[in-house]
Amino acid sequence: MANDDIWILGIHMTKFGKHPDLDVVDLAAEAAMGALDDGGVGIKDMGVLAAGCLMMASAGIGQQLQKQIGQTGIPVYNVANACATGATALRTVIMAVRAGECDMGLAVGVEKLSGAGLLSGGSRKSDDDTWTRHGRYGAVAPVDGRIGTETMPGVFAQIGMEYGHKYGGTSFELFARISEKNHSHSTLNPLASYSKAMSLEQIMGDMMIAYPNTRPMCSANCDGAAAAVIVSDAKLRTLDPDQRRRAVKVSASVLTSDPWEESCQVLPDVNTLTRNAAKLAYEQAGVGPEDLDLVELHDCFATAELVHYDNLMLCPVGGAVDFFESGATWRDGSKPVNVSGGLESKGHPIAATGIANVWEVAHHLRGEAGDRQIEGATVGLAHVIGLGSACGIHILEKAAG
């Protein structure tokens, strides 16, 4: 182990779902205390805290959390980076530890979204029948977006359809079968927001949100939190053998945003920044997609999962349909994807998702994933993307001994 290796010492996620009696600070505290307990350490051992919560983006969730679990005077970073907020908080702590500012740190992501609807993110800007471009964003805003397709369901529906037009093989049923897989996987995850299988007929016959995604093919808005304790290699060497045994190596931590492309001025491009992040992550980790034993990717919609098979290089360019049809992505396949149930079943409390995906991978590498355990898992990838734009990828490896 190199001296600059970074490890996850403790990690925890709450059950995702509806928590009417808990606020975001309560949920964040539950995740944080769970991660500290899992790592066998306390808040007094932490040298940095990074926390994210989009609904409290300007209110200092990190400081609010400290008041609940302990104020020790350490630096606090409050992060907001769309759906990549949790991954960004994690990367913030990883960078602080790797820089030598401290030897341990805590990353937390939390959100309360149950009952939040489709999160269109937009508001009616004018009652005028005719739209006139004005202001910073008006100068570049696509007319397309003004008629509804700039909302998340519309954007990802178009992305999936675009992939099909380019490479062929997609259909309404194909995307529904991806969702069927994830809902089936969720039955083995007691922390998922929805732990129930859905038949292809149920999925295809449900409410259409934005073709080809019906309601079960969309990520589930819910409440939840996740947290992780990061430790340096030097510090880990001083800890108890059991702590060392359960530590999970962070072989790569990457964050990207969109490069400028003309096409991005019309439709958000979730492909380029993910592919760029994947290339960097594989290079950092010294592994390739063929080495991965499982993948937790950002299936905010069933269409998103398909294109990210390609973006993460799990298949040849243009080969996502054949890759899925091969059965590789099922839990008993050669490259299991979203064995947690994915965002469509596990749920998507936005700022928590980036760490929750890492939680899932880490538990398989530890051999602690229960009934859904991928046997012999030693390398896994966690991916999250936020429009706006940000993509976070973490590659994790099982401890050597």
**pLDDT score of 315 more than 60:** yes
pLDDT at residue 312 in the model: 98
pLDDT at residue 354 in the model: 98
Q: Which of 121-135, 149-163, 334-348, 381-395 has the lowest mean pLDDT?
A: 121-135
**What average pLDDT does range 196-208 have in this prediction?**
97
> How far is the CA of 101 from the CAs of 46, 47, 158, in angstroms?
11, 8, 44
pLDDT at residue 248 in the model: 98
End-to-end Cα separation, the chain, in angstroms: 11
CA 229 to chain centre: 17
For the record, the structure tokens of 224 come out as 């939840």
Confidence band for 388, pLDDT divided at 50, 70 and 90: confident
The residue whose two tokens read 């609807």 is 117
**pLDDT score of 242 more than 50:** yes
CB 41 within 8 A of CB 68: no
| Residue 252 to residue 271: CA distance in whole angstroms | 19
pLDDT at residue 145 in the model: 45
Type of residue found at 95:
M
Full set of structural domains in the chain with CATH: 6-115+220-396 (3.40.47.10)
* pTM for this predicted structure: 0.92
Confidence band for 155, pLDDT divided at 50, 70 and 90: confident
Task: Quick: pLDDT tens for 76-102.
Answer: 999 999 999 999 999 999 999 999 999
**pLDDT score of 118 more than 50:** no
**pLDDT score of 2 more than 50:** no
**pLDDT score of 126 more than 60:** no
| Residue 78 to residue 54: CA distance in whole angstroms | 10
pLDDT at residue 153 in the model: 87
For the record, the structure tokens of 357 come out as 């995906």
